[in-house]
Structure formats: C-alpha cells, structure tokens
Amino acid sequence: MTSFKQGNVEEHYEMGEELGSGQFAIVRKCREKRTNVEYAAKFIKKRRLSSSRRGVSREEIEREVDILREIQHPNIITLHDIFENKTDVVLILELVSGGELFDFLAEKESLTEEEATQFLKQILDGVQYLHSKRIAHFDLKPENIMLLDKNSPSPRIKLIDFGIAHKIEAGNEFKNIFGTPEFVAPEIVNYEPLGLEADMWSIGVITYILLSGASPFLGETKQETLTNISGVNYDFDEEYFSSTSELAKDFIRRLLVKDPKKRMTIDQSLEHPWIKAIKRRNVRNEDKGKKPERRRLKTTRLKEYTIKSHSSMPPNNTYVNFERFSKVMEEIGAAEESLRELEKNKRSFREDIEALLSIYEEKESWYKEENESIGQDLRQISQELQKTESLKQQTQEEMKSTLLSANG
C-alpha cells in the first residue's frame, strides 16, 4: 500500500481560493510556506467503506498517484507533494493558471489552422509521452487541456486530471465504462477491451470541435450521444467546415474510426501531413498561383460551444448516470458470463448423461449375455447333478447287492 505524508497539509501550505470541483474532489490554490511558490491542492474525498459509493477508493487514488509520480513532461501537469488525513488525500500539483485552451482560442476573432495545429501538436506531444509509458489518459477533453500561462507569447499546453488514467499492461484485458460521454470512444460505450487507442478517438473529437465549434456526436439526449458514437454517426457539414482544409478533415477521419486497430496511432498522428506541412495547408487549391493567403477559421461557434458546455455540464463535465451505466454494464457482463458458464455446464452435463447412458446400455448388454451364459451353465450343472444322483443311486444298489452276496 502506497504511503502518504500524514498530518495537516495547512501546516506546510497556505490555502487560497477554490479553482474548481468535481464529484469527489475540490481544487484550491495554495502557497508553500517554506518556498513561497504557488501550487494547486487537489482534495480527494476518501471512500470510508468498500460498499459505499461516496468518495474515491484507496486503490483509485493510489493508481492516480503512481501515474503522476511516473510523469515528467513539459505538456503534462506535475505532482509536487502528497498529504493524507482522516477524510482526504491531498495532491499538491503544479499550478496551471492559464485557463482552458478552448476558452483562450474562443476569445480570438479568428485563428488559422497553423495556430490551431501549434496547440494540437503540444497535445499530441504530451499524449505521445504518456503512450510511450503505456499510460492511457481516458479523459481527454477541452476541460482537461489547460494553458500554463495564457499571457505568454507562446502559451504552453498542460494536460491535467489523471483520475481515471490507467497503465495498459500487455496480456491483461481491461474493460470499463468511464469518461465524458461526448468524447469517449466506441469501445468504451460498447464495453469492449480498452487500450491507448481510446485517447486517439478523443483527440479526433477535440480536433473536430476546435476547427468547427460543433461537437461531432453530441445528441439531444445522453443515449443519443452514445448511439451516435457507437455508430460513428458524424459528417463534415459545409456550414461548419467551409473554411477547413481537406488535410484537416483527413486527420479527423483517420482518428474517428470504430475499429481501434485501424485508428491512427499517436506516432502516425505526429507524422500526418496536416501536422507536418504547416505552410501549405492554409492555401485553397483554386488560389494556387495567387499570393498565398492563410485560411482563417471563425471562432464564433467555438465561443458558443464553450459557453454552452460550461453552462450545461455539471462540475468536471461528467454525469453520474454514466457511472451507474458502467455498473449496469458490468452486471450485464457478469450475467452474460454466468449464462455462458451455465450453458457450458449444461453441455457438459448432457455429455456426462450420454456417457453414463452409453455405459449403462453396454453394461446391460453385458449382463444379458452373462445371464444367458450363467443360465446355460446352471442348466448343464443341473443335468450333471441329475446324472450324478442317478449314478449314486445305482452305486448304492450295487453295494447292497455286493454285501448280500458277501454275507451269503
């Protein structure tokens, strides 16, 4: 069991304003008293009883901590310290104060694909580092793509929130239903084995929204959203993609693929022409030969999307029913496994009955043969006994006759 520093975190850190909250976590700004450096303190509510659904289990907290301890990359949040008390585990994390990437971009009047891909390239670099360590984030979405400092001339991307990240072990099949419905891959919706490929689907959805301000699979209801994802039901509506290059669409198409094995990997994404050929992508085919003009993407719809997502989604952009759906799917999976086991046992039982019946019939036939053979032997013995009895009587009479002759 992983050990954390015991005691009061406020003896070492001065707590400040709340930065955000989730279902079982609160993030507050803090300052380390010893160094005066500012950090973010993530208070994770511990689950007191294994049967309870309130709080986060020790196993889940330790998994997040183990992953954060292993990570050291410019585009990923870093872990500084860990404390534990009776009710919470407190992670002292790098302070990422620049806000969400989408909010930052929505403030602009417009942006070029080159500007968009400069940020996307940082996301890909961070994910490549994770995948090189066999770590799947499983919750890549705009809310978890932050800027370290938005006032910097070249703002740096930071991937945050590793609460549901997992290390993908070779040979160990891993299934779960988690994440934010709008961004999850079909294999999560369908409760199929999961791997690093699920993150690539999420990057495809993020890129689609970044370039259009529209969400490719978002439906009127959560169930409709999940159905759209499972059926890969999306298109490039001209209303949203009239200014988008074919290379950008190709990049998205190669990520929004239902079969995880056919989906573009992180290394392939970084080698895609849209990411590499920056200077050529913003020129329309019909404009070749003319003075090159960068193609600009309007951010009006992206602004509408960010406002809508912030106002309509609960804290951390997830919903509790999805967790319940996960439990239901697990129970259905367990029931199906039980039914398969029952069917297997039924076939085995039928085979055993047939084998026993065959043995019985064979034995019955053998017993009949043996019975007939014994019957014949008994009849023969009976005849022999009768003959012996007859000879005995004859011998007795001869003995009597011999005695009489002897006496005479």
Known binding residues are: 46
Instruction: Give SS3 for 74.
Output: coil
Residue 139 annotated to the active site: yes
Q: What is the largest CA-CA distance in the chain?
A: 162
Radius of gyration of the chain (CA): 39
Give the Cα separation of 160 and 74 in Å (integer).
Answer: 12
- Closest of 232, 235, 292, 283 to residue 256, by C-alpha: 232
State the amino acid at position 129 in one-letter form: Y
In sequence order, what are the beta bridge partners of 81? 92
Query: Would you say 316 and 22 are in contact if contact means Cβ atoms under 8 Å apart?
Result: yes
Query: Would you say 137 and 159 are in contact if contact means Cβ atoms under 8 Å apart?
Result: yes
Query: Would you say 177 and 325 are in contact if contact means Cβ atoms under 8 Å apart?
Result: yes
Binding residues for ATP: 46
Burial of 348 (0-12, 13-18, 19+ CB in 10 A): exposed
- Closest of 200, 270, 189 to residue 233, by C-alpha: 189
DSSP state of 388: H
State the amino acid at position 95 in one-letter form: L
Candidate list 139, 199, 235, 237, residue with the active-site label: 139
**How, if at all, do strands 110-112 and 296-298 pair?**
antiparallel
Return contacts of 56-62, CB within 8 angstroms, 24+ apart: 56/24, 56/25, 56/163, 58/1, 60/163, 61/89, 62/1, 62/2
The pair of structure tokens assigned to 68 is 């954060």
Q: Kindly list the catalytic residues.
A: 139
